[in-house]
Structure 1
Amino acid sequence: MAISDTLSFREKAAYGCGDLSSNLMWGLTTSYLMFYYTDIYDIPPSSVAWILLVARLFDSVCDPAIGYVVDRAGGLLVPHLIRRLAIPFGLSAFICFLPLPLSPHARVLWAGASYILFGAIYSCINTPYGALATMISTAQQDRVELNTFRMMGCQIGQFAVALLTIPAIDWLGGGVSGAQRQKGVVLYVLALAIAGSLMWRIVSRFCVVRHAPPPVQRSASELIRALIGNRRWHLCNILVFFQFIGIGTLYGFVIYYVRVRLGGSETFAGELLTLATVMGFLGAAATPSCVKRAGIVGTAIYSLVLQVVAYGAIDFAGSDRTAFYVGFILLSLAQGIASPLYYVLLSRAIDDGEAESDVNTAGLAYAINTLVTKVSMGATGFILAFLLSGGHYAPNLAEQSPGLIPWVTTGFVWLPLATAVVQFLPLSLWSRLAPAQRL
């Protein structure tokens, strides 16, 4: 049967289900894993920092390995791999939030091992998924729309996590005590894991590989040399690394910023995360229109300007919630606009690299880029956890010491503000490296 080159709404929506699934679980780890470790599973912040960092070191093996497998096997492997890993993905995510009754040291080991397992399976399913967009279509506008649906799926997943997590844990657990919240976590994550596995099956069922790269008959060293020579790919990795620091601080540290700087509760933090995902969704939905007017690089630069202004507004607001809302909404909207752009640039960098070197590196290129995002998140979590430790954060204490305020402000405002500023340089270099086409 002939396959149409026209992408249907169903196929675009199915592609978005992949990031929806990822962010039901990966989004849960981004927003609530640190809180789960410190306030529900009673792991010290200093130990949490090392768990988040060590897990990323293990990913340094998993991501390139699965990327190399995809390149060697060819693009037709991708939907089959996604289908077969759908259930293991949900199961490993469930185990990651399973609070076994162990001794303090054993809890640290269990948390680290389960998080490493989840990260490994996430690598093996999400890396092929990232490369799938280049195999569905080679048209730039199609890729913009595919990655827009991807980011909209991401925002829907984040929305569900932000809206439901704290109320669902308390309701399913029957209260707010430590034991009740542990029970609530188990039931809640089980439901998310089942939904996430189903979403991955939708991706494998409805996304069509039209431009499958043939199996690569090159050695690993040849693939690596080809990637090293792809300067635009390096720029994409730099951009994604700093972009995910901003995402990690927004979603992973807002609960601490709310409690310490704004004097709010976990429920209020969940409401803010819900607001952030709504604004991020709207921003991602507006991205194709913005790209038509300003180009990909121009839209990315405008979004960074908005982010810098937003961080300044948040810091200026102090404990004033009304002023904080203004900066927070602007920041979430700007991050939503930027969210699909770097993936489109990555697709272009991979295509251009293959044209220049005659070596298909899509699987390995996406794998290492995925690794970069996770290293970024791991490093961010490590820094944020040590900021909590340095400020002497006390879990489950209603009123924290005022001395903790500079520490959480550094993590929530100044760290991501600096990374937003840094991104202007690689974006300006991108235009110089690709003068033949306006992006």
Structure 2
Amino acid sequence: MTGQLNEISRREKVAYGCGDLSSNLMWGLTSAYLMFYYTDIYGIPAASVAWILLIARVFDAFCDPAIGWVVDRKGGLFIRPLIRNLAIPLGIADFFCFLPLPLSPTGKILWAGGTYIIFGAVYSCINTPYGALAPMMTKSARERVDLNSFRMMGCQVGQFCIAALTIPAITWLGGGSSIAHRQRGITIFVLLLSCVGIVLWRMVSTNCVARYPTTPAHHDIRKTLRLLFKNRLWLICNTIVFQQFIVIAALYGFAIYYVKCVLGGTDALGGAILTLASVCSFTGASFCPMSSRRFGIMKTAFAATVVQGLAYVAMLVCGVWLPGFLIAFVALALGQGLMSPISYVFLAAAIDNGRAVDGTGAAGLAYSINTLISKVSMGVTGFVLALCLSYGRYDATSLVLSRSTAAWVTAGFVILPLVSVIIQYGLLLLWKSVRGTENELLVTSL
């Protein structure tokens, strides 16, 4: 372990967490409610929603390597001005993404896809440098755990606000529960969120200090990519992230459908379930530093993965029994929150390891590809989940939903992420195995 202990003040850690808080007031709304907005408020067919989610995510995901390449060429001191300058464009793009213009069915699809692509592209250009900023703020593994825990707590606070406020705010701000009222309500709500998000991003650019900024590097991008893809730990970490975001996308993007179609609940109950998820995930993330120090990062990661897997199995066993589902859901969200900061620590360690072994200093590109992986994962998962709705013949206006709909929703909300959690466990075993053969730096970091 290198670097001074406690070199980052609590204020600076909180400021760094404001970045993910802002992200989840904007991006988190798309993760939890964009599919619901498209199908139940804007009236786009589920099959069309599937393609919008896939194409938009894959398209703007490739903005991440581009901005990562720019950060590497400009150096780490470029990050804070970039975040400050992109805060307002991100807020505007978020507002347009949820602006329900009165268009034809085809026009709605084009507007939804176009605005989602633009929002995702701008988000890439601010969030990727934000992620690369953390290892430039400290070289201490302990401080990095703390920093990313504050980041994840900011993430969970944002998710809590979105989960707790969205459904009530749409109805209250819109003045009713009709489609027209809901459309007006979500427009006002997203406008308010965008304004708050802009202020929070400005706090990041003002308070977070890059003590160990990367120097401008003019890499041969082909050579750099070859070196990155030879970094086994970096490859394993990216694969873990891909699987982890399948779980996150299903948990927050499909919970409301599971509540409606399997448990027979209302939109309000779905919002309450998402609120519960945010509280539990926040709790799990806040316990991560303590657990990592007492039991070690690897043991904490294994425990979090096992808890998630058992929770999904319990959901299958409980079926429509609401108390059993709630217990399993709490365990699932706690495990997911506990695991959430660790993947970023893995990524920092993998990049440090690559730098020590082959001299690769392309932190921006390495982080950007990691962000690309998370977006592709969410895009593919969103596509699969929307297809589950389409194959299950989901109808937002129907008061009675079929068993086929319930079965397809269960497949998307439980079976798909359960498989992903099992794969994550295997990847953690592989990480542990490879770690023993890599540079000593990683042993001291993890």
Q: TM-score, normalised by structure 2?
A: 0.96
2:63 & 2:28 partners in 1: Cα distance?
Answer: 20
Q: 1:422 to 1:289 in 2, by over 3 A?
A: same
Counterpart of 2:99 in structure 1 is 98
Matched ranges for 1:353-368 at <5 A: 353-368=354-369
Counterpart of 2:165 in structure 1 is 164
Matched ranges for 1:302-381 at <5 A: 302-381=303-382
Q: Is the 8 A contact 1:81 1:125 kept in 2?
A: yes
1:279 aligns with 2:280: yes
Find the residue that maps to 2:76 and give its secondary structure. Answer: coil
Counterpart of 1:290 in structure 2 is 291
Counterpart of 2:413 in structure 1 is 412
Matched ranges for 1:2-401 at <5 A: 6-401=7-402
Q: 1:8 to 1:372 in 2, by over 3 A?
A: same
After the TM superposition, which of the residue ranges 212-221 and 171-180 deviates more from structure 2? 212-221
2:162 & 2:26 partners in 1: Cα distance?
Answer: 8
Output the amino acid matched with 2:225.
I
Find the residue that maps to 1:303 and give its secondary structure. Answer: helix
Q: Is the 8 A contact 2:61 2:124 kept in 1?
A: no
Q: Is the 8 A contact 2:175 2:181 kept in 1?
A: yes
**Structure 1 unpaired stretches of 5+:** none
Find the residue that maps to 1:398 and give its secondary structure. Answer: coil
What does the per-residue CA deviation read over 1:304-363, in whole Å, with 9 as the maximum and x for residues that have no partner? Answer: 110111001111111111111100000000000000000000001011111111121110
2:61 & 2:193 partners in 1: Cα distance?
Answer: 27
2:92 & 2:25 partners in 1: Cα distance?
Answer: 13
Shift, 1:433, TM fit: 2.0
Q: Is the 8 A contact 1:226 1:361 kept in 2?
A: no
What does the per-residue CA deviation read over 1:207-254, in whole Å, with 9 as the maximum and x for residues that have no partner? Answer: 001000100122211221221111111011100000010011110001
Q: Is the 8 A contact 2:5 2:140 kept in 1?
A: no
**Structure 2 unpaired stretches of 5+:** none
Q: Is the 8 A contact 1:232 1:430 kept in 2?
A: yes
* Identity %, equivalent residues: 54
Output the amino acid matched with 1:335.
Q
Q: Is the 8 A contact 2:58 2:375 kept in 1?
A: no
2:271 & 2:353 partners in 1: Cα distance?
Answer: 42
Output the amino acid matched with 1:120.
A
Counterpart of 2:403 in structure 1 is 402
2:313 & 2:233 partners in 1: Cα distance?
Answer: 31
1:203 & 1:108 partners in 2: Cα distance?
Answer: 35
1:176 & 1:112 partners in 2: Cα distance?
Answer: 26
